[in-house]
Structure formats: structure tokens, C-alpha cells
Amino acid sequence: MAVVLFTASLFVPSILCAQAGLSLPNTIPNFASCVNEPLFYSCENTTAFTNTCCSPTPGGLVLQTQFWDTYTGLEKQGQLLPKNSWTIHGLWPDFCDGSFTQYCDLSRQYDPSPSPNTTTGKPGGTPVPPYTGPGVDTFVLEFGRIDLLDFSDEQILDQPRFSQQRFLGTRVFKHATCTSTFDIACYANYRKHEDVVNFFDATIRAYKMFPTYELLATAGIIPSNKTTYTLSQLQNAVKTQTGAVPFFGCGGIGAGGSAGRNILNEVWHFNHVLGSEQYGHFKPIDSTTPSTCSPTNISYFERTTTSEREVRVFP
């Protein structure tokens, strides 16, 4: 999908829909039975959840993950990065010990290039066939959710040169199908693909809980091609605001031969969840994964000026 902000072809139908008094289809799961369930944060429950629609099970360690890229590689095609903002990588359901599974429901396989291409990520796992059907964006359009596609154009960018279709398909199938609160059984009168739309809504909601660019900037940590930072500076800046230390990921080679790498490029915010992954309360916890960054001399590089754009121009 080409990157757009609000083009006339996409924005006008929303206006017409509003003027006509029409409403969009509901994609809200049926969690009515959850009111009778005991309340626990995921990974903190003392007994097993009997209704898996009520809490992410067994992957109760929920990661909201983001990228910091300095270019997209597709600038000529119009794909630009959002100014003063990290981009969404995904919403991941890990097991409580930090391990994880993937591709949990082959009947909801929307990834055109599965990687790794087995359910376990190992040669002995069940093969995951490539998806060859309509793009995931068409599922979203079926429900009239042009707003989600607009937001994905702005904020849901994978690493440079990855196609948007592959990225969207991977996020839904690889991760959402391993989260029990998105199981088809959790939807009353299920309409095909409403779980896809519900997952995109949940991913965006979680992303907005962790404005990483701003969390770092409050401590004076901003992109620079000259200034470097320590890992503890990055960690403390976020912990001061969220109460927890996230995972910071780095590429490159450690400066001066130091351990780890020194080019900041990703962050994972770890959470336990009270209620469903869609609407529940996220409680940040310290990362269960050690940082891959060097302890010192970490570069948080500025973006190429022609690779980003302002997306905060509409209310």
C-alpha cells in the first residue's frame, strides 16, 4: 500500500458516511461472561484461567514493540517515517517466562512470506504455507475502517524495504492468533476478519500507551549524530515515566570493542495485563530479555531529512 496521509479517495467516503448517518460494523468481542471471573493480572494468577477469552493465555507477557529507523528505502514510492515518533513493530504474546510461540492458527494464515516458516521456528515444526489471497488491507476496508489504514500508513512501518502487505499479514497471523482473547470463539455472531480489525485497534491502543520518542525526550535524550548515550540513561528515562525498564535493542558494533552493539534501533515494552489484551489494563514490568546494546556510547541517530514527514497536522 502506498503511504498517504489523508487522500481525497480515502477521506471522502468517511465524510459521506458521517453525513449519511451510517455506522460501521461492530468488531467488539463478547466478554460478558468475564464479569464472573476472578480478576488477576496475566502471569500473576494463582489458578488457571477457565475462560481464556478473559485474559491472554498462555501468552500473558505482552510486549508492545517499536522500531527506530533513519530511512525507509522506499522514499521515492512515498513511504516516509513519522517525525518525532518511533514506529510500531507489533503486539507480541510471550509466555510468562519470556519464551514464545508463533503461527498458532493455520486457518488464519495471512502472511505471504512466513519467516521462520514453521510453527516452532525450527525445521521440525509444522510448515507454514505462504498466503496468496487478498491483502489484509482489504479485510480492514470490508469494515469501513479507513482510519486504521491511514494510521498504518503513518506509524506501522517495518524495517526498511519490507512490504506493507507482508508486515500487516505477519503481525496478524504470527502474533494475534497466539493470543487467546482474539480467538474466533470470543466473538458473538463472528463475521470473518473482524478479529483482524480488532487486533489492529488493540495494537494501536497499546502503541499509544508508550510514546517512546517523548519518554526519552523528557530526559533530554533526542536523536543526534554527535551525542551518544549510556544504556542506563535510556533505561532510567523510560522507567521514570512508566515504572519499568524496557528492552532496548541495538545494531552495529560496540564502540571501542565494548560488549554489545551501539546503534539504537528498537524497544520492547513488557507488560502484564488485567483483562483482555484489547481493552485491559497494561502494567509495565521490567524486561525479561537482556539489552543487546553496549553499556556506553550508544548512538540514537537522527533521521535523514528526506525520509520523514510531519503527521501531526490533523486534529
pLDDT at 166: 55
Residue 35 within a domain? no
Global pTM value: 0.88
pLDDT for position 31:
96
Report the pLDDT value the prediction gives residue 225, as an integer from 0 to 100: 96
What is the pLDDT at residue 277?
Answer: 96
What are the residues facing 298 on neighbouring strands? 229
Residues 6+ apart with CB under 8 A from 176: 91, 108, 182, 195, 196, 199
34 assigned to some structural domain:
no
In a domain, residue 237? The reply is yes
pLDDT of residue 6: 30
* 163: in domain: yes
pLDDT recorded at residue 263: 97
Degrees, nearest 5: CA angle 254-246-121: 80
Name residues whose C-beta falls within 8 Å of residue 93's C-beta, 6 or more positions apart in sequence. 56, 59, 60, 61, 62, 63, 100, 175, 178, 179, 277
Asked, for residue 2, whether it belongs to a domain, the answer is no
Q: Is the peptide bond before 58 cis (omega within 30 degrees of 0)?
A: yes
For 184, counting Cβ atoms within 10 Å of its Cβ (0-12 exposed, 13-18 middle, 19+ buried), the class is middle
Q: Could you tell me the residue range of the domain that residue 80 belongs to?
A: 8-21+53-309
Q: Give the pLDDT score at 9.
A: 35
Burial class (CB in 10 A: 0-12, 13-18, 19+), 109: buried
In a domain, 162, yes or no: yes
Q: What is the rounded distance in angstroms from the CA atom of residue 65 to the CA atom of residue 87?
A: 9
User: What angle is formed at CA 67 by the lines to CA 120 and CA 150, rounded to 5 degrees?
Assistant: 100
In sequence order, what are the residues at sequence separation of 6 or more whose Cβ sits closer than 8 angstroms to the Cβ of residue 224? 299, 300, 301, 302
| Per-residue pLDDT at 244 | 98
Query: Is residue 38 one of the residues assigned to a domain?
Result: no
Alpha helical stretches, state H, the chain: 8-19, 136-142, 146-155, 164-170, 194-209, 212-217, 231-242
Kindly list the averaged pLDDT for each block of 10 residues, start to end, along the chain of length 315.
32 44 84 93 90 92 95 84 92 92 88 83 88 88 89 66 56 83 95 93 95 98 97 98 98 65 96 97 97 96 92 64
Smallest CA-to-CA distance from 187 within 203, 199, 175, 178 is with 199
**pLDDT at residue 14 in the model:** 47
- The three-state secondary structure class of 168 is helix
pLDDT at 173: 72
Nearest to 31 by CA among 50, 60, 53: 53
Asked, for residue 33, whether it belongs to a domain, the answer is no
Q: What is the pLDDT of residue 245?
A: 98
What is the CATH classification number for the domain harbouring 165?
3.90.730.10
Give how many domains the chain has, as a whole number.
Answer: 1
Tell me what pLDDT residue 157 has. Answer: 58
